[in-house]
Structure 1
Amino acid sequence: MPKAQETVLEIDLKSLEHNYNYLRSKIAPTVKMMAVVKAFAYGSDSVAIAAKLEKAGIDQFAVAYTKEGENLRAGGIEKPVMVLHPQSHNFQNIIDNCLTPSLYSKHILTEFIKTAKELKLQDYPVHININTGLNRLGFAAEEIDDVISIFKNTSAVKLVGMYSHLGASEDLAEKEFTLSQIGKFKEISEKIIKAFDHKILRHLCNTSGILNYPEATFDMVRTGIGLYGYGNSAEQDKILKPVGTLKTIISQIHHIKAKESVGYNRGFIAKRDTITATLPLGHADGINRIYGKEKTAVLINGKDAPIIGNVCMDMLMVDITDIDCKEGDQVIIFGKERSAEKFANNAGTISYELITSISQRVKRLIID
């Protein structure tokens, strides 16, 4: 890959294809796969990611909000797109863009049916979210009879899918909780299936669910973080390939004497004569202040360079005292050579938060 001449997020579509094929190998050929491309495809480029996956054979996509689905359609994506968290004022746009809403409450269900009737729609496809313990969105078990009745009394919409969210599928210490979620989903979904004559897709597993609970893949799985190269375990991270690599360069090198300070609020006081490098990215680019004060490090010429002091809005400083480097040299923040998981964990957060935080002002470079 080319050397960085500026701050850039490289998006490797070959790695994406590798991850997709690996996750596909973990499910039966009859099980469909839904790719989660919300939040700019986990901080990368949603249209480029979706286009590659569509070509590779993905079955469906999921986004969080309507605008994200609109952007996929504008980018030429044709496969079904489910909106996980629609709002009623977006229903017209959902229908105009042939998006599939996930309906999660009686209010949102009845409001969507009202809109569909006003537009004289017939059998518009929808999914429902069933709450099995995450307690975030979704219908409770005791609401299901009413939900069935509502669907049976309208021809404007058609229930084509139902799903739930696993809350701790990556944590085997919470296996009992996960198995209880799987059991609740199975019980509720079977009740719904018996109430209708047509096929209704069931989907429950996320990336960690695919890898840890293969018995719960049902008709379709949803995968997000795994597609981007992270499997929530060291073992899986060795197999998956990070899609995004954040690179930058050294803007300037400073020689700091012992007891001198670096950055705002004198966030770093040199204990010895120190050489520092200033890099052209900061918390406005998604490298937040939590990564400062030597909690984590970037990679320069194969060596760790701790981030020192307080991260600035547009810049951060690193300690290069023991690294042979010069102004203009490339710096790896995270990617294949420097795991986003390790970078994030060292600062007490997770790879999801790190990679989805990368600002849109950072240049994206698509590599295929």
Structure 2
Amino acid sequence: MSTAYSAPHDEAGPADPDFSPDTLCGADGRLLCVPEQILGVCLEEDGPELQLSVRRATRRLQLRHHPDRPHGSAFLSRLINISAAWLTDHRGAYLAWAATETGAAQLARATLAGPAPLRSPLTPAEERRVLAELDASAARQVEVLTERDRLREDLRRVRIELASSLAHQERLRSEREELRRERELTLTELDASASRQAELLLERDQLRQDLKRAQTELAAGAARQDHLLEERRQLEQGCEQACSELEAGVAREEQLRQQLEQLQQTAIFAQEEAARGRRRLASAEAHLHRERRAMGAVAGAAQAAELAAARAVERLRSRRLTPLLSAHLRQTAAGVTGCRARRTARRLLERLC
């Protein structure tokens, strides 16, 4: 802590930043003074109030005991600065040290053996009162130490319970993570089950459609079966009729076989007759051939006669006898002579006309 006045040149530097009770101890190792007693402040204050009280007390005491002041003391100024540093910069460490048995005893002795300039002389009654207060303070400190030990034990037990609670909390956290993973697995399985259920529903609908189609086909098959049974009955009836017809056909075949035998005999007779007819036909064809040759000869003679008649007609035309010849030919064509002569006369008339 920075004080209102600097230390004199022959005095040691400022207090060490780390708390050490040796800074206020003398050569015999005893505490020289009590910081709050020197400064006249109350440790019940805290924070800015304590800082303000320490600063005011330090200023007030340094104005009186600083070496630069008349009747000042470098030793007392140093004690004031160290006490101010203890109560401001190292208050927590100082209170912890004062709570120990060694610190409490040294503080009790230092209260009675404070520096002469800071402690007014006491009467025997005041000393007895101070000693009684010190004894009461020591008893209170013992109670405080007992309470502190109890609180430390409670704190240790609370820490153990807290560690157990933390371990239990960690177990609960791990169990929660495990449950979360199981829930995720369950949700995954549930999704898979839902998808599988959807597939099963689709398969069920497909099977229902297949069942309906199969029932329809079964009904159609039953109808076809009835139709086939009806056809079979009809075929059986047809077979019976066919059998009866076959029997009739066999009888008819027997009749036809007999008729065939008769026809074969008739055919043989007909073949013989045909052979005789062919022979007669051959003789007739030979006779016809002879007749044709004869007719050819007659036709040749007729053509020659026609040529001769044509030449005669030409000669007659040249001699102006056509009217008489025409009349003669008309009479001839009218049927007075034979058929061949009539034909010849007609051809001549056509040529003349």
TM-score range, shorter chain: under 0.3
Compare CA radii of gyration and give the structure with the larger one: 2
Taking structure 1 as the reference length, the TM-score comes to: 0.18
Return the structure number with greater strand share.
1
Return the structure number with greater helix share.
2
Taking structure 2 as the reference length, the TM-score comes to: 0.19
